[in-house]
Amino acid sequence: MTYFSELFGQVFSNLLRNKMRSFLTMSGIAWGVASIVLIVAMGDGFKQGQRNNTKQLGENIVLIFSGRTEKQAGGQRAGRRIRLNYDDVRSIREECYLVQRATAELQVQAKVASPYNGGSFTVNGVEAIYPQIRTIPIAHGRFFSERDEQDERRVAVLGDSVRKQLFGERPEVLGAEVRLNGLPFRIVGLMPSKTQNSSYNGMDSEKIYIPYATMVRDMPPADPNFRPGIVNNLIYVPASVTEWKAARQQVLHVISRNHDFAPDDKGAVYIWDTVQSAELVDNIFISMTAFLGVIALVTLTLGGVGVMNIMLVTVTERTHEIGLRKALGATRRRILTDFLLEGSVLALASGIGGFLGAYGLAGLVNLLPPTDFFSGLPVDATTTLLAFGALALVTVASTMGPAWKAAALTPVEALGYER
């Protein structure tokens, strides 16, 4: 205990003796550690923000839209229109074991009226499984059930913007009746206000959802080429995000077989793969974070050079003391340990100060309202270990040289040294 008390007392005495030199040295280390923490946290914040933005549509979903063939296949000409249908959904569910869930959407534009107001809105015919694939929150009531779907009931779920236009702020909306193209539908669910920055067929808060089977029966699209079974698009979720490529190959194999086009015909269907997009964005942010992290590490290394310089000066200033201690029996190992610990204490104190400063700044930033693409500065255990791991490497590298120089001095050359 006495040894460590003397050591820390000596360290603080040396720091106070050269206040400006010590302050500048410690500032370099503190800024380097803070830079690493903040840069890694910033990269994580942008990645998480992008993921949250994608989850507004649905987590790890893949959307497939109809297209036109670009290649000849099966005796069919190029430029042929491919129209997805509900048989594709059944085939995917039955054959694609790498797909967790799959569903379809059918969309029309309808005139909608309540007892208080009316308007033209997008109506989507979907299945009861839809909220398990897309992010469709329910503030009041429920989404329609499989029984509603099977019985082709006229039930509807209203987006928040639709509710406001049709009913204003009236509280009695659930169970009320609205007319879609003149047909009565009972409201069973209301969506909350939903922030959404991306869409493929309109904002969810501006839609009305009804059972797919009910739409096919009562409100088929006004398209002369429409026939029961045709859908606007398919949505599926891969069973594993690590096997999204294999899942896509399975799905494309099934659809190309059903519609007689080449699986590698990129124009036959259009695919929006949010898993692939998220992976691409993650790689961009990882590369950016790594690049900025290297810059932060260089800053920390420069701080380590400062520690090395101050330790070399300390060794020079205490050369006579080293010689006297060796003459009195101090071993080379003891001298090495003393100076190594002294430099480590200096670097560690600076690093802790930098980490606490960065952690405090991150806490203040996290108190601000989150933005659409930035979820704050999350400082997690990985970030902490990375910062202190880098600090440990720089500390050892910067203190070992001066400590070794001090330990290598002989009593004769140390006592005979003149400044």
DSSP run (H or E) holding 105: strand 99-113
What per-residue confidence (pLDDT) applies to 155? 96
What per-residue confidence (pLDDT) applies to 298? 77
pLDDT classification of 101: cutoffs 50, 70, 90: very high
Q: Alpha-carbon distance 360 to 70, whole Å?
A: 57
Q: Alpha-carbon distance 322 to 337, whole Å?
A: 13
In tens, the pLDDT along 57-95 reads 888 899 999 988 887 765 566 778 889 999 999 999 999
pLDDT classification of 285: cutoffs 50, 70, 90: confident
Q: In the Cβ-directed half-sphere of 313, how many Cα atoms lie within 13 Å? A: 13
In tens, the pLDDT along 338-351 reads 777 777 777 788 88
- pLDDT value at 250 more than 80: yes
pLDDT classification of 231: cutoffs 50, 70, 90: very high
Cα distances (angstroms) measured from residue 116 to each of 155, 167, 203, 206: 19, 6, 23, 18
State the CB neighbour count (10 A cutoff) for residue 138: 14
Q: Alpha-carbon distance 36 to 49, whole Å?
A: 20
DSSP run (H or E) holding 208: strand 207-211
- What's this model's pTM, rounded to 2 decimal places? 0.72
Q: Identify the weakest region by mean pLDDT among 8-17, 330-339, 387-396.
A: 8-17
Q: Alpha-carbon distance 340 to 407, whole Å?
A: 10
Contacts of residue 388, defined as CB under 8 A and 6 or more positions apart, other chains included, come to: 33, 351, 355
Pairing of strands 140-141, 269-273: unpaired
The share of the chain scoring above pLDDT 90, in percent, equals 37
- pLDDT value at 189 more than 70: yes
In tens, the pLDDT along 266-282 reads 888 999 998 888 788 77
At residue 213, φ and ψ (nearest 5 deg) are -65, -35
CA-based nearest residue to 303, from 23, 17, 41, 38: 23
Alpha-carbon 146 to chain mean position: 33
What per-residue confidence (pLDDT) applies to 156? 96
Q: Alpha-carbon distance 296 to 279, whole Å?
A: 25
What per-residue confidence (pLDDT) applies to 365? 86
- pLDDT value at 47 more than 90: no
Contacts of residue 231, defined as CB under 8 A and 6 or more positions apart, other chains included, come to: 84, 85, 86, 88, 89, 104, 105, 106
DSSP letter (8 states) at residue 262: -
Highest-confidence range of 56-70, 96-110, 321-335, by mean pLDDT?
Answer: 96-110
What per-residue confidence (pLDDT) applies to 73? 61
CA-based nearest residue to 299, from 37, 21, 46: 37
Domain boundaries of the chain, sorted by first residue = 2-54+279-415, 99-238
What per-residue confidence (pLDDT) applies to 76? 65
pLDDT classification of 97: cutoffs 50, 70, 90: very high
CA-based nearest residue to 255, from 84, 8, 38: 84
DSSP letter (8 states) at residue 205: G
